[in-house]
Amino acid sequence: MDKAPDAFRTISEVADEIDVPQHVLRFWESRFQQIRPMKRGGGRRYYRPDDVDLLRGVRHLLYGEGYTIRGVQRILREQGAAFVQDVWRAGAEPPPPQLEEDRTAGKIVEEAPATRPEPNLFGLAPPRAAERVAMPADERREPILEPPAPVDPPPHAIGVEERRKLQSALDELVACRRIIDAALLQG
């Protein structure tokens, strides 16, 4: 059963609708103060139609127009959230010209078929091909890591707040990895 156009959406519904993983939506919340879904008990997010339009606009600027997060933040600051909510629609006013810091470094690989890999231990799917920077395998400089020494299990289970902090740290590490990959492409 389809929801009414003005119905609230869960994070999984929004992620499927705009074709980005849920962890990316949570990461965008930490980077764009204008993205503020309603939160209910247990931190469950509910997105209003305007929230979904804003997320579509952010996605369009990042993936379609090639802006960086800083560039989209600049557009939100200068043009406002209403502009970004409409920028993805056909016939909308185009975004302002990119500044040097607004441009995404590196080439983006063509979009792979829209299949979602199984989530890993943290409930995250690996980035899709369109989110990875293209780099020949022989140029990759992956560190060789030793497996960690076994440790005793923590005395208590991880709470919601600790999980959120870990998720945020993981999102930032993924973003750092993309920046490093892009820098390696240029060098």
Residues 6 or more apart whose Cβ sits within 8 Å of residue 106: 133, 134, 181, 182, 185, 186
Cα–Cα distance, 19 to 25 (Å, whole number)? 10
CB 112 within 8 A of CB 130: yes
Summarize pLDDT for 70-110 with one digit per residue, the tens.
Answer: 999 999 999 999 999 998 888 888 888 888 766 655 444 33
* Spatial distance between the Cα atoms of 43 and 160, rounded to a whole number of angstroms: 8
Domain ranges of the chain: 9-102, 129-186
- Determine whether 83 is exposed, middle or buried from the number of CB atoms within 10 Å of its CB (0-12, 13-18, 19+): middle
CA-to-CA distance for 12 and 74, rounded, in angstroms?
28
Whether CATH 1.10.1660 fits 9-102? yes
Could you report the per-residue pLDDT of 131-184, keeping only the tens digit for each? 445 555 555 555 555 666 666 666 666 777 777 888 888 888 888 888 887 778
User: By 3-state DSSP, what share of the chain in percent is helix, strand and coil, each rounded to 5?
Assistant: 50, 5, 45
Predicted confidence at residue 109, as pLDDT, reads: 38
